Amino acid sequence: MAENELIIIDCIEKIRNHLFACDPSLEKIFENLQNTSLTCKTEDLIRESYLSVVLNINIDAAIGRRKIRHIIKEICEDDFHSCQESINPYLKHDFYHLTDKEKEKFVKNFQAVTNILDCLNAIPQNEINWLALIKDLSSGKTGLNAMKAYRFLKLLGAPVAVLETRKRKFLFRLGWLNVSNTNSKSLTLYQNFCSQLSRLCNESIQSLDYLFGLFSGSEKTAARDVPICGEKPFYSKCPLANYCHYFQLIKAESIGEDYDAQKIARQPKELPREKLLLQGAPALSVPELLAVLLRTGTKTLSVMDLSNTLINKLGSLRAIEAATIKELCAIKGIGLTKAAEIKAAIELGKRFSQEKKRVLTEIKESCAVYEQYRLRFTNYKQEVFLMLVLNCRNEIMREVEISKGTLNSCTVHPREAFKEAIRDSGAGVIFIHNHPSGHPAPSRADIMLTERLQKAGEILGIRVVDHIIIGDGAYYSFADEGLIS
């Protein structure tokens, strides 16, 4: 068995254990979902499920069931108008605002649904091609689109999984389903994913879909600690944190959960930006980089569709650079703000390519460091500890202030001191600090700290080139004095 399959099995087990611990009553529901079947469904149930999906009425609520049964009664009696005045106000629904012609079409669509389902009676459930059935139901003859077809079959107990927004975000965070929005293609991918998972874990598709719904907040429960991976993921409580791509990103970047909730745990429609955060800018294609700049799409176009439209219409990045603001705004979805951002980004790229690389200062001896930094410390009334990060040529790549102390002491921990050097891939470091008293001679604490820093550098593979103490008109170099090899 592949390693990723073992990880998925482990994740499913952790989800189940967490949910059942939070709400033991869910276990009974889960067991019932293992045995659901499409067979032996009455015409009334089929009709109620169809109306529930088409009219968007919650069949699980008592008022929803009453509405649906009232509508069915009126359809069967073919007396729509007589009920307009007498209907209970709590049962009113948009169905009663349809014209007679629209109501006839409604009944005709339902008849098409029953005809399709009647064809399944002679076929064993394990031999039914559910994707083909969904395609038939959403072909336009039934009044159902792909999403409604999935929901309709789910209400009937068919082994189908419905990809809702929160489930999609949850699976995206784990890296199990990389889809940017909910459409017929993503619904099919989710159905196939749950089918494979069902065979792998020996669980029904319905029960797996229910677990994902509970964990992500698509399904409702009275338990206080559910959902875990909803609009605001609770990583501190999540049993899957070690497998979550977003959690790994947060740990790597030391971002707090507040930032995560607001910036990272959003819909996967922002996939290009999230891909950049997780994999780096070089991993993105030109349309994806443009999509990061554009940020949002339109009501009819996703941000990726808008990005591809821009590329296809203008042909290349050079053509986009040559286009005027007016020509960019002529493309549907590109306004003045987006056009200005595109122009600014291209101009930044041009200036970057023209910019000469900064000449780095090469350190050859301790007196050069003293001359460069002595004026900096002239008016300091407390000890300040600096670190110069060097490349392999002893050139200063960056200067970092490690700590500020008191008149005669400064607390420095090797972990904090080398953190920035590791981040900058430094080959060596020079430490500098001052003595406000004006006497550069090292104290016992200075000598011990230098020894600790040198040992830490040896372990990390980063050379401690020197530690220089700056006083009033004089300095002390540990390297010159032979205390650093």
The domain locations on the chain are 3-35+161-247, 43-155, 285-355, 366-477
Residues with Cβ < 8 Å from 146, sequence gap 6 or more? 134, 138, 183, 184, 187
Domain 285-355, CATH: 1.10.150.20
Distance CA 171, CA 161 (A): 13
Cβ burial of 414 (10 Å; 0-12, 13-18, 19+) is middle
Which whole number is the average pLDDT over 257-277?
53
**Same fold for the domain at 285-355 and the one at 366-477?**
no
Highest mean pLDDT among 30-39, 120-129, 319-328: 319-328
pTM of this structure: 0.51
Query: What pLDDT does 467 receive?
Result: 93
Distance CA 129, CA 10 (A): 29
Query: What pLDDT does 468 receive?
Result: 93
pLDDT at 75 over 70: no
Spatial strand order in the sheet of 384-390: 396-404, 384-390, 428-434, 463-470, 475-477
Residue the block writes with tokens 């301790």: 366
Distance CA 374, CA 183 (A): 65
Query: What pLDDT does 469 receive?
Result: 92
Residue-wise over 431-441: b if at least 16 C-beta within 10 A, else e? bbbbbbeeebe
Domain 366-477, CATH: 3.40.140.10
Task: State the sign of the Cα–Cα–Cα–Cα dihedral 135, 112, 34, 59.
Answer: positive
Task: State the sign of the Cα–Cα–Cα–Cα dihedral 99, 155, 66, 72.
Answer: positive
Higher-scoring residue by pLDDT: 120, 131? 131
Distance CA 146, CA 139 (A): 9
Least confident of 36-50, 166-180, 471-485: 36-50
Distance CA 91, CA 70 (A): 8
Helices (H) and strands (E) in the chain, counts: 21, 5
pLDDT at 129 over 80: yes
Which whole number is the average pLDDT over 384-392?
90
Asked if 212 and 224 touch (Cβ cutoff 8 Å), the reply is no
